[in-house]
A and B are shown apart, each in its own frame.
Chain A
């Protein structure tokens, strides 16, 4: 898995996205480990084109579909669907047009946090919104990480007060 290179590929093509999921959890200070990159992407046709330009050279495929099923990664496919679980030459990447409990890119972007990798600024879902999405998703893996995220939010608030 090459998180840095995947993020760079997206940023280099000007894709409007923000990091959610496990990488966001780690960025906010959790010791949680993840093996894929989850992003929420802006769903305009122009941004879908940028996403296609960024990921096509990495040979994306549907991760959860049987091998051999034809998959055309283009604007039409992205606009016809919403969320995609993909594999690629640089590792697994999930593209979410909408996040349970958080909404679409525009809603999550407003209070996102900027992180820097390889001198590139990357938007990451806020810790508050991350907690909200985990509460809404309410899967076992979400319930397991919630106490840690809530403790981290409390720590950050106390640091802000000092």
Chain B
């Protein structure tokens, strides 16, 4: 089953993101330039909320494209 973070897990992930173990994949992602706090938000959402967010982004992108044509 998919996992939605509990408050305790959220704190644990935040600590990992803020101070990742040296040589870890988390540290490598941060070094690569990824804002992992965005992942924390995603992991706290239900699948329905994630899908809704993707749909909203698509609407936004379409709106921008329409605006650039006018």
Q: Which residues of A contact B (CB under 8 A)?
A: 1-4, 7, 22-23, 26-27, 29-31, 33-35, 91, 113-118, 122, 124, 147-148, 150-156, 158-159, 162
Contacts and interface: CB of A to CB of B under 8 A. Distances in A.
B25 to A, nearest CB: 4
A48 B48 CA distance: 27
A27 B2 contact: yes
**Which of the four size classes fits the interface of chain B?**
35 or more
Interface of B: 1-3, 5, 9, 12-13, 16, 24-26, 28-30, 32, 34-36, 38-39, 41-43, 46-48, 50-55, 57-58, 61
Nearest to B34: A148
A30 B45 CA distance: 11
B42 A151 contact: no
16 contacts: A1-B55, A3-B51, A3-B54, A4-B55, A23-B51, A23-B54, A26-B50, A26-B53, A114-B1, A147-B29, A154-B25, A155-B16, A155-B39, A158-B12, A159-B9, A162-B9
